[in-house]
Structure 1
Amino acid sequence: MMQPIQKILPLLFTVTALALSVQQAVASDNEEFMPLSGDDTQYMIKFKPGSTIKALGPEADSYLSAGERKQKFSRKGAMALLRQAQVQEANHLDAFGVSVAKLNAQQLQALKNNPMVDYVEEDPKRYLLAESVPYGITMVQAPQVSDAMTSNIKACVIDTGYNYGHPDLPGSGVTGYAFSGHGSWSTDGNGHGTHVAGTIAAIGGNNIGVVGVNRSAKLGLHIVKIFNDSGKWTTASNLIQAIQSCKNAGASVVNMSLGGSSSSTTESNAMTNFYNGGMLLVAAAGNAGTSAFSYPASYSAVMSVAAVNSSKVRASFSQYNSQVEISGPGVSVNSTYKNSTYASLSGTSMASPHVAGVAALVWSQHRTCSAAKIRAALNATAEDRGTAGRDTQYGWGIVRAKAAVDYLNVNRC
C-alpha cells in the first residue's frame, strides 16, 4: 500500500557561518611596487590641491605638463616639500596628489604640521589572499586525483539554488531548473545549495576562497532549486521530478542533501528506476543522531552518507542504521555560501556532496563503468572505521578518491 507523501527538509546542522571578506588595493596606472624594509613605517602623504605646484615658485607654470596642470600635482613640487622634512620619497600617486615614503616619528610630525599637507596616513599592507583546502577535500583524497577529464560528466545538485556569479564557483557549463514560486535556480538566498555545490566543484588555483573535490571548473553542473530561500519543505513527488530534470540534463551523479522520516512506494520505485537507468544517487543519512531511517537516503537504490569530523570520528548528529553505506566529512566544513561569501557548516548535508563529488571525479576517469560499478568501487576502497567491515555508524567507511581510481585501474569494469 502506498504511504503518504512525506515532507522533505534540507538537512542542515549549522555550527558556524564565517563570511570571508576580500581586501582590495587601488593604485594609479603609474604606481610602482616598492618593497618595505627597515624599521620605519611607510606612509601616504596627501598634499592639498595645487600646493605642490605652489612649492615650485612663480615660474613653475611655464614648465608644468598638461597632466600636472589638470591634476594640480607636481612630483618636483612634492619632492621639494618632502625634502624640507628630510624625507626621501618611495613613490607618487600622481592622479591622487599623493606621495609615498617611509617616515620616522620626527618626519611624520613635521609633515603633519606642514600647511601644504592635507593629511598623512599609514600605508597599510595587503597580502595575497591564498585559497585554503578544506580538511575534507584532503581527507577524501581529491587532490591526489586529476580532474582534467571531468568535462565528460555532469553532477546534479537538488537544493536551494546556486549563487551564480560567486567568484569561486563555475560560471560556464552550469544549467538549472527551479520549481514554480522559488525564483531562479541561479540565485540562492538560503546558502545551503551553494555550500553543497562548492564542496563538489569550488574552483582551485584562483588564490581565493576554497577548493572543491573537482577544482578545475570543468565538471558539468545541473542545479535544481527544489526549496525556496527559507528552505521550506518539499515533497517526494517534487523530488522525483527534480531527479528527472537531472536525468534530462544528462547528469550521472545526483546529490540530495535533504530527507524526511516517511518512505513512499512511488518514490522508492522511482529511485530504483533512476539507478538502474545509469544514475548514481547520493543522499544525506540524516541529522537526528538516532538509528531512525531517513528517506531518500535509506532506499536501497541510494547511497546513504554519514558524517565524520576532522578526526575521522562519526559526528554525534549523524544518523546510524543498517542503510548507512559510506561516510564523508561533515563537521565544520568550509565552502562557498550565499552573497559570494563563505561559511563553515556541519551536517550530513555537508558529507553527502563529498561522496557525490568523489563519485563524479572517479567516474570521469572510468566512463565505461556503470553506476553500480562506481558504487561498488567507492565502497570497496573506503577507509574502514568503527567495526571491521560495514557497520551502522560509518557504513563501509570514509570515501577515498585515489583508492577508488587505483582499484578500477586494476579491476576495470
Structure 2
Amino acid sequence: MFRGCHGCNPHIAGGGALSDNDSTWLKDDPNVGKEGGIYDPYNPYKPKPTPPGHDNVLPPNEGVLPPIGDNPEVIPGNPSVLANRLNILMENQDKSVMDLAKDFKIKYPDPKYKIVYFDNVVKRMQIEIPKEEREQMKLEIPSAFAPDYELFVFDEALFENRYTPNDPVFSDQNKSWYFNTINAYKAWDITLGSNKITVAIVDNGFNLKHTELSSKVIQPYNVWLRSNKIFPQSVDHGTHVAGTAIAVANNGKGISGIAPKCKFMPVQVADKNGIMTTTSVLDGILFALYQGADVISVSLGSQFTGLSHFSEREQQDLIRNYFKEEERLWREVMRIAAKHNSTIVLAAGNDNVLAGIDALQRPELFITVSGTDKNNRKLNKATFSNYGKYSTISAPGVDIYSSVGKNGYSLMDGTSMAAPIVAGAVALMKSLNDTLTTKRIICILQGTGIETQGDIGKLIQLDKALLKVKSGEEVDCTPAPTTGDVQVLLSWNNYNDLDLLVTDPNGESVWFKNRMVSSGGQLQIDMNVEYPDSKTPIENIYWPPGGAPNGTYNVYLLYYKQHENADPNPYKISVKHGQMTDEYTGTINNENEAIHICTFTLGNENSYENPPNENHNNPDTNPDDHRRSQLEEERDRLNQELDRVNKELRRIGNSR
C-alpha cells in the first residue's frame, strides 16, 4: 500500500494534518472540495471525475497529470520547457474551465490539439500541441478568445533541485557547524517544535524508511500517481531536505532537524524519470495547502542555463518584463496560502544571479532563502547563491549534513539546504504561536537576523526569533515609502484590504497583480493581504527619480476585501508628480468597488494630450471649444477604463 514505508505506519487518511487553526479557511474557502482530489482535505487520493457532458473535450478526471514519457522533447533555455505543451491560465471568475474547454475545441477542432489536464480552482488547463506551432499558439490564443476570456499562456517549464553535489571525503568533518551559526541549541531550550505543526516538503522523492523520518510521516502524496506511493530518486535530494528540516532528535543516530518534533508531509513532484514541471510543483503545493500544512518547503526552481552570462542590468530586465504569466499564477498561490495561514519557503537558487528571475520567487509573502558559506566571522554569501532584493533571508548553505538513502547521511551544498533550515525555523515559531502570519514571521526573522555580505537577506538567529515570538511583542517591518518622479501613497485605518491601481502613459497598470511595469513603476508596499495585518496600513506605488515617462497617469482605488465592518471605509491618497503634491480624501463603500481618484500629466501636456493633427495656431479654433473637446474625450476614456477595472474586479471576485 505504501511503497518505501513498510512498518512505519504513516497517517494516510485525509484530514490528518488539520488542526483547530484550519477551521476558518475550511469554512470560508469556497474551493474546499468534497468529491475527491487535492482540494478535498478529507479524501485527496480519490480522483475527481470530469463533470458529465465534457467527456469529449476533457480528460476523465480533473487534476490528473498526464504522463510525459521516457524521452520527452525538451527545448533548452531560460527556462527549459517541454516542446509540445502549453498552459493556459484563465482569470474569468464568472466562467469555468469547462466553458473554456468547449470553446477551445470549437476554435481548434483538429485532434492534434488536445486538452490533457484541467483544474477549475486555479483556473487552468494544459494543452498538447504540435511542437512546431508552440510559439504561434502562445501568441494567438489570448486574442483568439478575447474579449470573452482573459487568458495568459505560458510554457510547461522543467524544474530542478537547488543543490550542488558535495563528496563527504573532501568535506569538513564538523558536521554540525551550522547549528551554532543560527543558535539552534539555545533555541531548542525554548521549543523543539509541536506535533500539531506540519511541515510539507515538496521535492523529487523520499526514502520514508529512513529512521530519521519514518515515525513522522503524515499524508504522503505523489502528484503523478495521485496516491501515497512515495519513492526516492537516484539523487536523494528530498530525503536530505526533509531531514534538514524535521529529522528526529535524541535517537542516537545521525543529526537532528531544526524542528524535530513537528510532523512531516512528503509531497513527491518528480515522476519515475525524475522529471518535475510547473504543473507538478504547483499541484504539490496546492495539495499541501488544502491538506493543512503549516509550512511548505520548496527547494526547487525552473531550469535556467547560462544566466551568469547576463549582465545584472539584463537580469533586472528579465525580472521586470518577463514571465509575467507565471508570476500571476504564483501570486494566486500566495493568496491561497495567506487565506490558509500557511507559509511557503523557497530556495533562492544556485546560479550566482539575481533572485526573482524565476517568477516563483516574486510574491512578497513567499520566503526566498539565500545561502551563506562557512566563514562565521564574515558571513559571506555562498559563492553559488542567488542574491538581490528578492532574497528575503539567509541560512547556512554549505556542508549541510543530513539524511539520505535508507539509513545513510551525506553532506550537500546549495540553497536547497538553506531553505529547509528556515522552514524548520518557521515551524518552531508556529509551534509557539500558530496564528502568526507570514508577514509577521518575515518581520521577526529579518528583525532578529544579522547582517551578511553579498547582497543577500540577513542570517537567521533562531533563538532571538523564538524569544520575539514568545514575548508576544508586536512587530512591524513595513518599509518607509519610497518616493520619486511619481509617488501615489494610500493610507486607511482598519484591517480591510484596499488597493491602488495606477496606469502609466503606455497603458500599463501597476497593482497587486502586476507589481512592476516596463516604464519603471512598481508597487512597493501592499498591506492587509493577510488578516490580521495592520490597523494603520499603507500602500505605495512609485516611479524612481528620472524614470517616470512623460504623459498622462490615472489613479484608481479598489476595495478588494472586507475583513471587518467599516462601512463606509475612509481613505487618504497623496499623489506626487514632479514638483506637485495633491491630496484626496473620501470613503469607499462596497467590497469589489473601484473608483477613479484623479488624472495627472507629467511633462509637457501638449505633447501627450492634444490630438496629433490639431493645429493650435489656427485663429479660427476657439480655445474653449478645443479644451471642452479634450475634456470630453478624457472623460470617455476614463469611463471606459473604470468600466474595465470594475469588470476585472467582478471576474476575480474574492480569489485574493
TM superposition score category, shorter chain reference: 0.5 to 0.7
1:358 paired with 2:425, answer yes
Q: Which residue of 2 aligns with 1:342?
A: 409
1:408 paired with 2:472, answer no
Task: Indicate conservation of the 8 Å contact 2:159/2:276, yes or no.
Answer: yes
> Could you list the per-position Cα deviations for residues 328-370 of structure 1 after superposition, in whole angstroms to 9, with x for gaps in the alignment?
1111211101232111111111111011110001110122322
Q: Which residue of 1 aligns with 2:197?
A: 153
- Aligned equivalents of 1:172, 1:285: Cα separation in 2: 27
Q: Which residue of 2 aligns with 1:380?
A: 447
Give 1:136 shift.
2.0
- Aligned equivalents of 1:229, 1:141: Cα separation in 2: 39
1:222 paired with 2:273, answer no
Give the counterpart of 1:324 among 354, 368, 391. Answer: 391
- Aligned equivalents of 2:164, 2:421: Cα separation in 1: 17
> What code does the residue aligned with 1:407 have?
K
Change (3 A) 1:336 1:300: same
- Aligned equivalents of 1:148, 1:316: Cα separation in 2: 31
Q: How does 1:223-372 map to 2 (within 5 A)?
A: 223-228=266-271, 230-235=273-278, 237-260=279-302, 262=323, 264=326, 265-291=328-354, 293-311=357-375, 312-372=379-439
Task: Indicate conservation of the 8 Å contact 2:218/2:265, yes or no.
Answer: yes
Change (3 A) 1:229 1:308: farther
Give 1:406 shift.
1.4
Q: Which residue of 2 aligns with 1:399?
A: 460
Change (3 A) 1:231 1:239: same
> What code does the residue aligned with 2:422 have?
V
- Aligned equivalents of 2:158, 2:297: Cα separation in 1: 14
Change (3 A) 1:338 1:173: closer
Task: Indicate conservation of the 8 Å contact 1:254/1:281, yes or no.
Answer: yes
- Aligned equivalents of 2:369, 2:432: Cα separation in 1: 23
Rg: which structure is higher? 1
Give the counterpart of 1:200 among 234, 237, 245. Answer: 245
> Could you list the per-position Cα deviations for residues 253-307 of structure 1 after superposition, in whole angstroms to 9, with x for gaps in the alignment?
1101011264512232222332343111110111111125224123222111101
Structure showing greater relative contact order (alpha-carbon pairs closer than 8 Å, 6 or more residues apart): 1
Give the counterpart of 1:2 among 152, 155, 162. Answer: 152
> Could you list the per-position Cα deviations for residues 185-211 of structure 1 after superposition, in whole angstroms to 9, with x for gaps in the alignment?
532123100000000012221221112
Q: In structure 1, the residue corresponding to 2:411 is in which secondary structure?
A: strand
Q: In structure 2, the residue corresponding to 1:324 is in which secondary structure?
A: coil
1:180 paired with 2:224, answer yes
Change (3 A) 1:302 1:149: closer
> What code does the residue aligned with 1:191 have?
D
Change (3 A) 1:317 1:9: same
- Aligned equivalents of 1:228, 1:194: Cα separation in 2: 16
- Aligned equivalents of 2:272, 2:381: Cα separation in 1: 30
> What code does the residue aligned with 2:329 have?
T
1:163 paired with 2:207, answer yes
Give 1:12 shift.
3.3
- Aligned equivalents of 1:309, 1:301: Cα separation in 2: 25
> What code does the residue aligned with 2:470 have?
N
Q: In structure 2, the residue corresponding to 1:306 is in which secondary structure?
A: strand
Task: Indicate conservation of the 8 Å contact 1:132/1:211, yes or no.
Answer: no
Q: In structure 2, the residue corresponding to 1:339 is in which secondary structure?
A: coil
Change (3 A) 1:213 1:245: same
- Aligned equivalents of 1:240, 1:214: Cα separation in 2: 25
- Aligned equivalents of 2:472, 2:223: Cα separation in 1: 42
- Aligned equivalents of 2:443, 2:374: Cα separation in 1: 25
Change (3 A) 1:149 1:329: closer
Task: Indicate conservation of the 8 Å contact 1:281/1:303, yes or no.
Answer: yes
**TM-score, L = length of structure 1:** 0.65
> Could you list the per-position Cα deviations for residues 61-81 of structure 1 after superposition, in whole angstroms to 9, with x for gaps in the alignment?
xxxxxxxxxxxxxxxxxxxxx
Q: How does 1:40-55 map to 2 (within 5 A)?
A: none
Aligned Cα root-mean-square deviation (Å): 2.5
- Aligned equivalents of 1:182, 1:347: Cα separation in 2: 29
- Aligned equivalents of 1:241, 1:366: Cα separation in 2: 28
> Could you list the per-position Cα deviations for residues 80-135 of structure 1 after superposition, in whole angstroms to 9, with x for gaps in the alignment?
xxxxxxxxxxxxxxxxxxxxxxxxxxxxxxxxxxxxxxxxxxxxxxxxxxx98622
Q: In structure 2, the residue corresponding to 1:316 is in which secondary structure?
A: coil
Task: Indicate conservation of the 8 Å contact 2:301/2:360, yes or no.
Answer: yes
Change (3 A) 1:377 1:198: same
Q: In structure 2, the residue corresponding to 1:296 is in which secondary structure?
A: helix
Change (3 A) 1:231 1:318: farther
> What code does the residue aligned with 1:299 have?
P
Change (3 A) 1:331 1:229: farther
> What code does the residue aligned with 2:370 have?
A
> What code does the residue aligned with 1:165 have?
K
> What code does the residue aligned with 1:13 have?
Y
1:12 paired with 2:162, answer yes
- Aligned equivalents of 2:175, 2:250: Cα separation in 1: 10
Task: Indicate conservation of the 8 Å contact 2:178/2:396, yes or no.
Answer: yes
> What code does the residue aligned with 1:233 have?
M
- Aligned equivalents of 1:6, 1:306: Cα separation in 2: 26
1:212 paired with 2:274, answer no
Task: Indicate conservation of the 8 Å contact 1:143/1:213, yes or no.
Answer: no
Q: Which residue of 1 aligns with 2:560?
A: none
> What code does the residue aligned with 1:301 have?
L
Aligned residues: 293
- Aligned equivalents of 1:374, 1:300: Cα separation in 2: 12
Structure 1 unmatched runs, 5+: 20-130, 387-391
Give 1:181 shift.
4.8
Task: Indicate conservation of the 8 Å contact 1:17/1:342, yes or no.
Answer: no
**TM-score, L = length of structure 2:** 0.42
Of the structure 1 ranges 273-282 and 321-330, higher mean CA displacement relative to structure 2 is found in 273-282
1:138 paired with 2:184, answer no
Change (3 A) 1:295 1:170: farther
Give 1:137 shift.
2.7
Q: In structure 2, the residue corresponding to 1:200 is in which secondary structure?
A: helix
Give 1:148 shift.
4.4
- Aligned equivalents of 2:418, 2:362: Cα separation in 1: 15
- Aligned equivalents of 2:300, 2:383: Cα separation in 1: 18
Of the structure 1 ranges 142-151 and 341-350, higher mean CA displacement relative to structure 2 is found in 142-151
- Aligned equivalents of 1:365, 1:306: Cα separation in 2: 25
Q: Which residue of 2 aligns with 1:28?
A: none
Task: Indicate conservation of the 8 Å contact 1:156/1:254, yes or no.
Answer: yes
Structure 2 unmatched runs, 5+: 1-150, 305-322, 475-656
Task: Indicate conservation of the 8 Å contact 2:297/2:344, yes or no.
Answer: yes
Q: How does 1:119-134 map to 2 (within 5 A)?
A: 134=176
Q: Which residue of 2 aligns with 1:116?
A: none
